[in-house]
Amino acid sequence: MSHHRLEADGIRYDYPDGTPALRGATFRAGHGESLALVGANGAGKSTLLLVLAGLVAPSAGVATVGDLPVTPATMEHVRRTVGFVFQDADDQLFMPTVLEDVAFGPLNLGLAPEEAKSRALQALQSVGAEPLASRAPYRLSGGEKRLAAIAGVLAMGPDILLLDEPSAGLDPRARRRLIELLRAFDHTRLIATHDLDLVLDCCARVLVMHEGTIVADGEPRAIFADAALLDRCHLEPPLSFSA
Amino acid sequence: MHMADALLSPAVGGTLWVATGATLAWCARRVKARADDRIVPLMGVLGAFVFAAQMINFAIPGTGSSGHLGGGLLLAILLGPHAAFLVLASVLTVQALFFADGGLLALGANLFNLGVFPCFVAYPLVYRLVAGDKPSDGRLAFAAVLAAVLGLQMGALGVVVETVGSGLTSLAFATFAALMLPIHLGIGLVEGAATAALVIFLRRARPDLVDRSLPAPVKSRAVAGLAIAAALVAGVLSWFASPHPDGLEWSIARATGTEEIKPPEGGLHARLAAIQEKLSVLPDYDLPAEGTAKKEGETAWPEVSGGRSFAGLVGGLVTLLVVAAAGWLLGRRRPVA
Amino acid sequence: MGRLEAALRDLRLADTLAARDTPVSRLDPRAKVLVTAAFLVAVASFNRYALSALAPFALYPLWLAVAGRVPAGWLARKLAIAAPFAAMVAIANPILDTAPMLRLADVTVSAGWVSFASILARVGLTIAAALAVAAGTGMHALAAALAALGVPRIFTGQLLFLWRYAFVLGGEASRMQAARTLRGGRGSPALAVYGPLAGHLLLRAFERGERIHRAMRARGYDGEIRTLRELRWQVRDTVFVLGWCAYFALARFVDLPLALGRAITGAP
């Protein structure tokens, strides 16, 4: 099913002051695949995600989502197809209550308030966060905020999920819950993360980024066993490997 | 400097609510017309910043006391006057509702004093003219201090006029002004310094956020000059109005022995006169309380009167609003060719 | 506790109070806005020497506080903090206006003291009403009421954002201040330190604004602010508005305490 396709072709991006962030990133992902994007800070993971979601325009190269390239003209298609979970859940939960925030997406898609509300409740149920519906975002714990943010993205019914450091700052219980959730999804997933153990639990494929390009693409165990590669990219093997 | 409801009359409070309400609507329309969908979240976070920053004190050198940012001028510099006005309105609303800092009836007046003067007078007519395009740090600081001082002086004067005009205080205009204005001179210096410090820092870190291209102030110089002149005439020169009868009154006096012909007792004329008396908020170009006092006694010349200044300024403002509204309405009818 | 922490704590408390289910919070916020506006106008419309005639008006903030279960101590504390400016201006009245007005037993009270007391009474009434109605309603409902009453959405939208991020930015500011104190910073910082301190906060505010905007666009934001919250006007709201406005009208034009006093003492 092509609408789960996610591709990058020679993506380049430079910051306004000229510093290059992406220097030709290329990969292909298909139906329901679960990929991890790993690399040191500054390697370009977040930027690549932003380009794929159409939130930032690349200086060169093409991102493809579903059947269509990501361009200003196809933006509505991109919004419906791609769900983006941001690094800081506080940036994403901007409505007064969790329910209203999760309903934000459906309302923007044109649903009537009643329908948007039931979609939102469904999404909250699917992540196990229904009790949070009437709570104010600033009172939630890190894990609860993360779940609410994911629900807000799921409520739009995307085919592809992009997640930027989803397990950062979560306590072990919340992290475990997140991993279970990610395993249960059948969307195409691209997860940028430092949490290599999460990668082992959730992802069938790993993309290693270094200085703006993807330097390795393969099965997690094989990649993480390659000590030279990890060292070059300023990474270390997962904690569970040393156990 | 926030006015309380306890010192305000409904007439003064209501008038200023209408004035700031209209300004708010106008600003909302202008901001929406910019069609920049970044503006709503940006306004919100900057409002949150101003709210938080007002709680952060810094030391005022040489006095041992501390001050804090007000934020009006800073917002105008960063967002432009219209968006800044909206943000200030929300900051003041939160303060009034949850901190009892300024009354709700007085919210219009407070927004006028703390919003209209910095955003629509101090920023375009002082800061932008003095700073010009891409000013040096020193010039920016000077412009900010000057604009902040003048803006706050106007605001303080506003508080005085509104309080005295409401008639609940026994303070005379001159006394109250003599207390408020010097205090706010110091506050203005503090505001200007804090604003300058922040803008200079921000400019170094993210010049793109500060040197946004805003419409050049060249054309507004003429408008600015006229506006200041009008305000001065209404606010200050009116004190120097001649107490002698004008031409019409003089002629009537010569002809009949009184300055005004007595109107008929009954009928339509009397009814209309009664209506006019009830409707006139500022009879005889002065505040009701002070006006009656003057009729009884000798009046000095120049007649330094807060009531008269208030009447003049309100009259000017209302005229301006009516003209602007008429212009807008007429402008709408015309179809685009 | 610094001013910032105290302010954040107050906001949090106000939010908590408003979220509870009380007779006050169940009313349509538009009704509360209308009645409070009528209340403020009525109180402000008295002449400067009105004192006992103001007393019946205390019923409204009292009812709001009791029915809204607003803590009396919190209300009293806020009143005490908010009164000074008005009191400072008002103190000029007894000094300047010395015409005798009342005789209580053997004491002659000047008009200035009467108007001073009147101002203090107004301070109590207006501030108590504003705080009680805000605590019983909350910013979200109030913003919805304003939008429903015709206030431009671009204003109510950013008002809600301010509310939402006041806690976040306030928290950041508080941590920056704490970090400075822990590194030996005493008292208020000099301007040379304040610039970067508050400047960084400002920078982070901008960056957060950009991130929020991205998150909004990612979920389909196109400039229109749409919300779930629907306000439904019910019979009890009509009763609330008509009842209180009638009471205010009565108390404004009939000096109830005077009438009561006359009835009790039989004086003319």
- Measured between CB atoms, does C112 come within 8 Å of chain B? yes
**Residue that is last in its domain, among B179, B214, B249:** B214
CA B110, chain centre distance (Å) = 9
Q: Which of the following CATH numbers is that of domain A2-241: 3.40.605.10, 2.60.40.2550, 2.60.40.1180, 3.40.50.300?
A: 3.40.50.300
Tell me how far CA of residue B36 lies from CA of A54, A98, B30, B207, in angstroms: 18, 26, 11, 19
Measured distance CA(B163)–CA(B106) in Å, rounded: 10
The H-assigned helical ranges of chain B are 10-33, 39-53, 72-79, 81-99, 107-111, 128-131, 137-166, 173-205, 207-210, 218-235, 247-256, 267-279, 288-296, 306-333
Of chain C residues 26-55, which have a CB less than 8 A from chain B? 36-37, 40-41, 43-45, 48
Q: Do B45 and C41 count as a contact with CB atoms less than 8 A apart? A: no
pLDDT band at A70 (very low <50, low <70, confident <90, very high): very high
**Of the ranges B229-233, B294-298, C160-164, which one carries the lowest mean pLDDT score?**
B294-298
Same-domain pairing of B183 and B292: no
Q: How far is A78 from chain C (nearest CA, A)?
A: 9
Residue B179 pLDDT: 86
Percent of chain C at pLDDT > 90 equals 34
Tell me the Cα Rg of chain B: 22
Q: Which of A94, A102, A134 to mutate to test the interface with C (most CBs of C within 10 A)?
A: A94
Tell me the Cα Rg of chain A: 18
Q: Do B35 and C112 count as a contact with CB atoms less than 8 A apart? A: no
pLDDT digits (tens, 9 = 90+) for A186-231: 899 999 999 999 999 999 999 999 999 999 999 999 999 999 999 9
Q: Tell me if C105 sits within 8 A of B26, measured CB to CB.
A: no
Measured distance CA(B100)–CA(B251) in Å, rounded: 55
Q: How far is C265 from chain B (nearest CA, A)?
A: 31
**Residue that is last in its domain, among B159, B181, B214:** B214
Cross-chain CB nearest to B201 (options C7, C85, C196): C196
* Residue A101 identity (one-letter amino acid): D
Q: Which of C158, C172, C174 to mutate to test the interface with B (most CBs of B within 10 A)?
A: C158
Compute φ and ψ for A133, nearest 5 degrees. Answer: -50, -45
pLDDT band at B218 (very low <50, low <70, confident <90, very high): very low
**Of the ranges B94-103, B280-289, C69-78, C177-186, which one carries the lowest mean pLDDT score?**
B280-289
Backbone φ/ψ region at B95: left (φ over 0), alpha (ψ -120 to 50), beta: alpha
Measured distance CA(C227)–CA(A105) in Å, rounded: 10
Residue C133 pLDDT: 92
Measured distance CA(B259)–CA(B191) in Å, rounded: 51
| Chains with ≥3 CB–CB distances under 8 Å to B | C
Q: What is the mean pLDDT of residues C50-71?
A: 90
Count up the domains in chain B and report the number: 2
| Chains with ≥3 CB–CB distances under 8 Å to A | C
Q: Tell me if C2 sits within 8 A of C91, measured CB to CB.
A: no
Task: Enter the tokens of residue A32.
Answer: 């329901």
Task: Enter the tokens of residue A228.
Answer: 């030279």
B287: exposed, middle or buried (C-beta count within 10 Å: 0-12, 13-18, 19+)? buried
pLDDT at C249 over 50: yes
Q: How far is C210 from chain A (nearest CA, A)?
A: 9
- Which residues, in sequence order, are CB contacts of C222 under 8 Å at separation 6+? A108, B37
List beta partners, residue B111.
Answer: none
Task: Enter the tokens of residue C226.
Answer: 């749409």
Percent of chain B at pLDDT > 90 equals 35
Cα torsion through C88, C89, C95, C101, rounded to 10: -110
Q: How far is C234 from chain B (nearest CA, A)?
A: 25
In this predicted model, which residue has the larger pLDDT, A170 or B269?
A170
Packed helices C111-135 and C59-67: angle between N→C axes, nearest 10 degrees: 30
Measured distance CA(B170)–CA(A39) in Å, rounded: 72
Q: Label residues B21-32 b or e (16+ Cβ within 10 Å = b).
A: eebbebbbebbb
Measured distance CA(A155)–CA(A119) in Å, rounded: 6
pLDDT digits (tens, 9 = 90+) for B124-163: 999 999 988 888 999 999 999 999 999 999 999 999 999 8
Measured distance CA(A3)–CA(C133) in Å, rounded: 52
Q: Tell me if B312 sits within 8 A of B235, measured CB to CB.
A: yes
Comparing C-alpha atoms, which of A179, A203, A160, A173 is closest to residue A65? A160
Comparing C-alpha atoms, which of C130, C124, C94, C167 is closest to residue B95? C130
Measured distance CA(C59)–CA(C172) in Å, rounded: 41
**Of the ranges A75-89, A156-170, C217-231, which one carries the lowest mean pLDDT score?**
C217-231
Q: How far is B92 from chain C (nearest CA, A)?
A: 11
Q: Label residues C188-209 b or e (16+ Cβ within 10 Å = b).
A: bbebeebbbbbbbbbbbbbebb
In this predicted model, which residue has the larger pLDDT, B217 or A91?
A91
Residues of chain C with C-beta less than 8 angstroms from the C-beta of A80: 220
Q: Do C191 and B101 count as a contact with CB atoms less than 8 A apart? A: no
- Measured between CB atoms, does B187 come within 8 Å of chain C? no
B193: domain CATH number is 1.10.1760.20
pLDDT at B325 over 80: no
List beta partners, residue A28.
Answer: A7
* Residue B136 identity (one-letter amino acid): S
Q: Do B24 and C89 count as a contact with CB atoms less than 8 A apart? A: no
Task: Enter the tokens of residue A2.
Answer: 């092509």
Q: What is the mean pLDDT of residues A27-45?
A: 91
Q: What is the mean pLDDT of residues C222-246?
A: 87
> In this structure, are strands A160-164 and A82-85 parallel, antiparallel, or unpaired?
parallel
Residue B8 pLDDT: 86
Same-domain pairing of B160 and B244: no
Its domain, for residue B116, covers 5-214
Helix (H, G, I), strand (E, B) or coil at B334: coil
pLDDT band at B183 (very low <50, low <70, confident <90, very high): confident
Measured distance CA(A158)–CA(A186) in Å, rounded: 11
Same-domain pairing of B187 and B305: no
Residue B79 pLDDT: 93
Q: What is the mean pLDDT of residues B291-304?
A: 49
Backbone φ/ψ region at A38: left (φ over 0), alpha (ψ -120 to 50), beta: beta
pLDDT band at B226 (very low <50, low <70, confident <90, very high): low
pLDDT band at B116 (very low <50, low <70, confident <90, very high): very high
Percent of chain A at pLDDT > 70 equals 98
Cross-chain CB nearest to B38 (options C157, C172, C213): C213
ipTM over 0.95 threshold: no
Measured distance CA(A54)–CA(B88) in Å, rounded: 33
> In this structure, are strands A205-210 and A34-39 parallel, antiparallel, or unpaired?
parallel
Q: Do B209 and C206 count as a contact with CB atoms less than 8 A apart? A: yes
Q: CA angle at residue C75 from C72 to C76, to 5 degrees? A: 85
pLDDT digits (tens, 9 = 90+) for A11-33: 999 987 788 999 999 999 988 89
Same-domain pairing of B163 and B24: yes
Q: Do C155 and B90 count as a contact with CB atoms less than 8 A apart? A: yes
CA A72, chain centre distance (Å) = 21
* Residue B126 identity (one-letter amino acid): V
The pTM for the full model equals: 0.81
CA C241, chain centre distance (Å) = 19
pLDDT band at A172 (very low <50, low <70, confident <90, very high): very high
pLDDT at B90 over 90: yes
pLDDT band at C196 (very low <50, low <70, confident <90, very high): confident
Residue B306 pLDDT: 57
pLDDT digits (tens, 9 = 90+) for B34-80: 888 889 999 999 999 999 998 888 888 777 778 888 899 999 999 99
Highest-scoring range by mean pLDDT, C1-10, C85-94, C98-107, C119-128: C119-128
Of chain C residues 174-193, which have a CB less than 8 A from chain B? 177, 187-191, 193
> In this structure, are strands A213-218 and B58-59 parallel, antiparallel, or unpaired?
unpaired
**Of the ranges A14-28, B96-110, B249-263, B282-296, which one carries the lowest mean pLDDT score?**
B282-296
CA B67, chain centre distance (Å) = 23
C31: exposed, middle or buried (C-beta count within 10 Å: 0-12, 13-18, 19+)? buried
Q: Do C4 and B52 count as a contact with CB atoms less than 8 A apart? A: yes
Comparing C-alpha atoms, which of B53, B306, A141 is closest to residue C202? B53
Q: Do C168 and A100 count as a contact with CB atoms less than 8 A apart? A: no
In this predicted model, which residue has the larger pLDDT, B209 or B53?
B53
Q: Is the alpha carbon torsion for B71, B72, B74, B75 positive or negative?
A: positive
pLDDT band at C260 (very low <50, low <70, confident <90, very high): confident
Percent of chain B at pLDDT > 70 equals 62
Report chain B's mean pLDDT, rounded to a whole number: 77
Q: Do C215 and A100 count as a contact with CB atoms less than 8 A apart? A: no
pLDDT at B244 over 50: yes
- Measured between CB atoms, does A210 come within 8 Å of chain C? no
Q: Tell me if B290 sits within 8 A of B309, measured CB to CB.
A: no
Q: What is the DSSP letter of A86?
A: -
Could you tell me if residue B223 is inside a domain? no
**Of the ranges A21-30, C159-168, C175-184, C224-233, which one carries the lowest mean pLDDT score?**
C224-233
pLDDT band at B330 (very low <50, low <70, confident <90, very high): low
- Measured between CB atoms, does B202 come within 8 Å of chain C? yes
Residues of chain A with C-beta less than 8 angstroms from the C-beta of C140: 96-97
Residue B172 pLDDT: 84
Q: Do C161 and B105 count as a contact with CB atoms less than 8 A apart? A: no
pLDDT at C228 over 90: no
Comparing C-alpha atoms, which of B102, B91, B115 is closest to residue B6? B102
Cα torsion through B45, B47, B51, B52, rounded to 10: 20
Could you tell me if residue B233 is inside a domain? no
**Residue that is last in its domain, among B214, B231, B260:** B214
Compute φ and ψ for B135, nearest 5 degrees. Answer: -75, 160
pLDDT at B289 over 80: no
pLDDT band at B296 (very low <50, low <70, confident <90, very high): very low
Comparing C-alpha atoms, which of C142, C122, C173, C154 is closest to residue C2? C173
Report chain A's mean pLDDT, rounded to a whole number: 91
Measured distance CA(A69)–CA(A65) in Å, rounded: 6
Q: Is the peptide bond before B302 cis (omega within 30 degrees of 0)?
A: yes
B67 → chain C, closest CA residue: C188
pLDDT band at B217 (very low <50, low <70, confident <90, very high): very low
Q: What is the mean pLDDT of residues C189-196?
A: 84
Task: Enter the tokens of residue C1.
Answer: 């506790």
Q: Tell me if C33 sits within 8 A of C41, measured CB to CB.
A: no
Comparing C-alpha atoms, which of B107, B87, B108, B111 is closest to residue B98? B107
Q: Tell me if C56 sits within 8 A of C251, measured CB to CB.
A: yes
Helix (H) or strand (E) holding C146, with range, is helix C139-148
Sorted by where each begins, the domain ranges of chain A are 2-241
Q: Tell me if C31 sits within 8 A of C237, measured CB to CB.
A: yes
C210 → chain A, closest CA residue: A91
Same-domain pairing of B208 and B276: no
Task: Enter the tokens of residue B162.
Answer: 């509104």
Start-to-end CA span in chain A (Å):
40
A78 → chain C, closest CA residue: C218
Q: Tell me if B103 sits within 8 A of B8, measured CB to CB.
A: yes
Task: Enter the tokens of residue C244.
Answer: 């209180």
Residue C155 pLDDT: 93
pLDDT at B300 over 70: no
Measured distance CA(A124)–CA(A118) in Å, rounded: 10
Q: Tell me if C54 sits within 8 A of C100, measured CB to CB.
A: no
